[in-house]
Each structure stands twice: as structure tokens, then as C-alpha cells.
Structure 1
Amino acid sequence: MALDFFIYISYNSYSYCLYPSPKKEATGVNRVKTEALKVDFLDLQAFIEAADRNFQQAAVSLDVYQSTVSNRVQNLEKRLGVELFNRENRRQVTLTPAGQAFREEAQRLCRQWEEAVEQAHRAARGEDRPVYIGYTGTALWSILLEITTICRTCTPPLKVISRDLSVRAQLRALRAHQLDVGFAITPEIRAGLQYKTLFACPMLLALHEDHPLAAEREVRLSELKQEHWIWFSRDANPHYHDYNLRQCQNVGLYPTIDHFTDQPYAMVSMVSHGLGASLVTAWTAVLKLPHVKYKRTIPAWNVELQMVWRKDEYSTAAQNFMQLVCETVEQRQNGLDGLNID
């Protein structure tokens, strides 16, 4: 019959014991098993130290008297109902077969206990809590893939749960405590949030390879007044949409926009099929779709990749993650490493 148990904790001796519930009495063999469950972890530790070394060295290691080690081992033997040491030769005490069998399992039990204590402390510090992040596609290609890989191999590992969200959706999720950290391109400023610029990134013109200006190294936007455009959706990131539109209007270009999307891949795919031109970040140049050429623009301008978080973000895991992001950014001269722009 299964036994019910309760935990007895002695704060004076810092001992932890597993006791059977007093509402059920054990008899015969069950009584022996019941007594074996009343094990003090300090008794267990004394046994392991004595088994691995000897009683004298165990006393030094535990910073107690040798008699204390002997008493604890004898108490453990009484609980178990078996002798763990041969004491015929006082000068050389050895393990009995029962002691040899018990030592391996006792060591495993102590390791599990230490791991359980460490996990409890890590959880209390927030280190075992996942970091919930939001990102846009361009942020993913710029640095986020590298950082997520580092998180899996650092010590202790950082568990990251990521979501592909528009910038506007990220800001809402951050303020609702559904995200810890966001990565956004030129986001609008919202109260209660903090922002850190990670990289500045130039905007590029994506053209079909058959376009008359596709052979040019740089293209003046003023030459594209008759062009049909694929534009970033304002609903996803109003500030980014308006900022790029103003850059065009400043040189007299008022784009005729046929298609809106908040997905960089969709924008470049439409260019690949000859549906128009598009302005994209330089990070989007990692998309090597057929028939697409990426060109620098005149005038040229940059947008910023920013890391966003709540001002009241106190999660240890989130703080460690953001520190890792900053350290990774500092090691790179810019966010365009490895990009091959036409």
C-alpha cells in the first residue's frame, strides 16, 4: 500500500527529512522501510565524505569533530537497518557490500538535491524564466539570428521565445507585459518604453533587372516619378512608413503606390515579378530573389534598428539578454557585415 509523506525541516540543524504521514502506521518490513525514509541529509553527507576519504578527513572537510561524523554514520545505519562500514580493523575502516551499493545512490541523491536547490535559487532570480522577444524580418537578418544562437551556448543558457510581429504589435505587447524585449526599425516613441539604437542601416532601392535604371550603381529618386511602387504598410509601422515617404517627397517624388505589405519578403517577391519598385533596408539584400537588383539611392538616408523594452523591466533573464545584445553589437563595426549590395 502506498504511503503518504510529509517533509520535516529542522531549521536549527539545516536538515531535511522525508517522513511518512503519522496517520498511517507501518509494521514489519514496512516499518524498516519507513525508518529508512527518515534520513537526515547531514547524515547522508557525513557517510559520503567518510566513504570517499576516511572518518578523520571527513571531519576536516565538514568542519566538525570526528565523533560527530561517527555518530551521524551510525544514525544512518540505524535508520537503514544495515551496516555500511566494516569496523573490525579500526585503523582501516572499509565499506561493506551494502555500503558500496548505497554510496553510489547516495551520491546521486545528494547531487539531485544540490541541483534542486540551485534550480530553486535560479528560478527565484528569474534566470530560468524565458525571455520573450518580438522582431521584424529585417531585425532577424541584421543580428537577431546570431544573438539567439549565442543564447543557446552561453553559460547559463538563456531560453529565448521569439515572435515575428509588426512594430506596432510589438509596442502593444511590450506595454501589456506580453513581451520583454522588442526589435524594431525606426519605431514611434511610446510612453513607458525605453529605446536603444543598435545599428543605422541605409535604405536601398529594389528594382527588377529589366528596369532601365537597373544597370546604374546609384539611382536618383527624382527619376522614378512615373514608377509604380510597392510600399511598407502604414498600419504595421506608421513612423517608418511616413519617414520614408517624406524622404521621397523632399525631392519631388510622390509615389504611386499599388501594393502595401508589412513583409520584406513579399515586397521583394513583387519586385521579382515586375510589379513595381520598392524601398527596403539594406538587410533585406540577404534575399537573393531572381531578377532583383538592389541599388543605392540619391539622396541616401538611414533608418535605425532599435531595441525596445519597458522602463520597469526587472526580469534578470531579460536584463542578461539585453546585456548580451549590447556586447554583441559592440563587437561589430556595423550591422551590414556580409551583405553584398549591387
Structure 2
Amino acid sequence: MDDLASFLRTRRARIHPSSVGIPTDSRRRVEGLRREEVAHLSGVSVDYYVRLEQGRATQPSEQILDALARVLDLDETEREHLYRLARQRRRRAKAPSGRLRPELLRVLDLVAEAPALIMNHRLDILAGNRLAKLLYGRDLPGLNTARHIFLEETERGLYADWETCTLDVVGHLRLAAGKYPDDPGLASLIGELAIGSKRFRQLWARADVRARTHGRKAYRHPLVGLLELHQENFALPGEAGMELLVLSAAPDTPTEDGLRLLGTLTDTGSEHPERARAIASGVLLGNSADHERGTEHLGDHPDLS
């Protein structure tokens, strides 16, 4: 799914010669650095570097990898990915089982005021609390967020920052492919996304890697409007590839109000979206006093109770 040779080629192509002191002119036809230039700058023979990019050289030393990372200007995530790819022939990680301990499900239920979910390395949602289910508007076990973003949603769908989300997803899957190259489920997912999405194919060809542990995550919910949440990812000890994701709202913000309102909805509210949307808009656009009065009586509404 991913290999050292293709990663080196894509990283080499993005380095402009002038940034490493190599003059250029109009006759230059190579995008980025030439192979021999990378070899010279990193202190390895041209023949050895060519064999690296052809997948014929095995087990490069730590010194060679350090030199390549420096010349190719890799960030910390890319550097770790490079080392992982170089070690694949020696030791290949086994794909996680994906089994959830009951204790983890109890932890999800304890998170009552923020959407929380458990996700694996393939971006399958394995479980979620009530607010997470209401946020996505569907049952969560079995939902793959990569498939949801690329094949089911659009730029005007649930994800307010859809383009950024696509970058994050592809970067994450690239990392996962480097960690678990023998996972058939991951290989099948990547193939499905490549067939079904032109944007996925374009981003995958760039071979970018991303490790996102926290940051802004904005949703455009059909009933409560824009939710600008903060996402924190927590790796679960002893559960390889699994993470707990918590989406929180800053205090005293419209998003906090929106989450509070979202929590008052039930599954039946989605059956009456127009009436639910009208009530939600009235609450969110009113003053704070009206807001308090509106939420106090939402439980009496036949569609939102």
C-alpha cells in the first residue's frame, strides 16, 4: 500500500533546488531535486540512492535515514514515517483486532456533555456516545469516516471544513498504511476510495502524511447549525490503533448552546426536520433569557422530547 521508494520520490519532487543552493535555469525538466542531487547532499552513492527509489535496497542505516530526512526537509511526522517504512522488511506490525473492552463503552457513557467516540486505524467508528450519534444523525458502529467524507458527503454537507478534512483523512490513512501494510481491510478501503473519489486519488498520489492529535473540527448540523468544536485524540493503552475522540465546545459560545440544544433532541426529532429546525433557530437566535425559556420547554414539544 505504501513503500519507501514512492515516499522518497514524492518528497524529492517537492524540494526546490534553490532552497538547497542548486542554481536552476529554463532547461531544467525535473520537478524538484534529481536523484543524484539527493545522493550528493545526503552523502550516499548515486547507485545506492537509485536502488532505494527502485525498492532494491534494503535496511538503510539510521545515519542514511537521518541524512535523507534532513535533505528532504521532513517534519517530525514524515521522519517517523520514513523510519517505519525502512523497517517494514524487518518487522511488519500485525493489524489490530478491533475488539472493544466493555470498560471502554462505560467511559463513553460517562462523557455526557460532548460527543465522544472510539475509532480505529482505518477510521471505522467502533462506538459513540449519545451526543456523537446525534451529531452524525445515525448509528455509529460500522460508519467509516473516510468513506463518509469522500463518498457520501459533499463540500456543503456535515463537514464545514470538508477540504481540510480530506487532507487529514488521507494523511492519516498514509500513516496507517505504513504501520499496518499487511492489513487487507485497510487495503480494500484505500482501493474503494481511489475508485470512487477523484479528490482521494489526487491527494493519495501526493503521499503526504499527517498525525492529528488535536485541533478545530467544524460541523454544519442540519438542525442546530454550525458547531465549531475542539477535537482531542487520546490513544488507548493496550488497544493498538484505537483512539478515543472527544469533541468539546468552548464555554459561553454559540457552539456550547448548539451542543446543549442537540442534547435535547431525540432520534424522533430527525423525522420532523423542518419543525425541529424552526425551533432550534428560534432558540439559537434569541437572547439568552429567551434561550433559557426555550430550552426549558423543549421537553414538552412532541417532536423534540
Q: Does the alignment reach a TM-score above 0.5? A: no
- Quickly name the TM-score band, shorter chain normalised: under 0.3
TM-score (norm: length of structure 2): 0.21
Return the index of the structure with the highest Cα Rg.
Answer: 1
Higher helix fraction (1 or 2): 2
Higher strand fraction (1 or 2): 1
